[in-house]
Amino acid sequence: MIILITTGGTVASQTTAEGAVPRLTSTDLAPTAPSADIAAIDLMSVDSSAMTVHNQFDIVRAIVDALADPAVDGVVVTHGTDTMEETSYLADLFVTDDRPVVFTGAQYPADSPSADGPANIAAAIAAVTDPTHRGRGVLVAIGGEIRSARGIFKVSTTELAAFDNVHDALPRRSVRSAVPHRTARVDAFGLYPGVSPGIIAAAVSQQAAGIVLAATGSGNTHPDITAEVLAAVRAGLVVVVTTRVPFGPVVPTYGGGGGAVDLEGAGAIISRWLRAPQARIALLALLSVGAGAAEVGDFFRSLQPVP
* Residue stretches of the annotated binding site: 48, 81-82
Phi, psi angle pair for 85, to nearest 5°: -65, -30
Q: Judge whether 70 and 97 are in contact, CB under 8 Å.
A: no
Candidates 6, 7, 10, 243; catalytic one: 10
82, 47 in Cβ contact below 8 A?
A: yes
Q: Is 81 a catalytic residue?
A: yes
* Per-residue buried b or exposed e for 249-270, using 16+ beta carbons within 10 Å of the residue's own CB: ebebebeeebbbbbbbebbbbb
Is 226 catalytic? The answer is no
| H helix runs in 107-197, sequence order | 117-129
What region does 217 belong to: left with phi over 0, alpha with psi -120 to 50, or beta? left
SS3 67: helix
Taking the C-alpha atoms of residue 217 and residue 199, their distance in angstroms, rounded to an integer, is 20
DSSP letter assigned to residue 216? B
Question: Count of residues for the chain?
Answer: 307
In 3-state terms, what secondary structure has residue 92? Answer: helix
78: helix, coil or strand? strand
Residue among 78, 81, 221, 243 flagged as catalytic:
81
Which of 75, 140, 77, 143 lies closest to 106, judged by CA? 143
- Residues belonging to the binding site for substrate are 48, 81-82
Q: Which residues are catalytic?
A: 10, 81
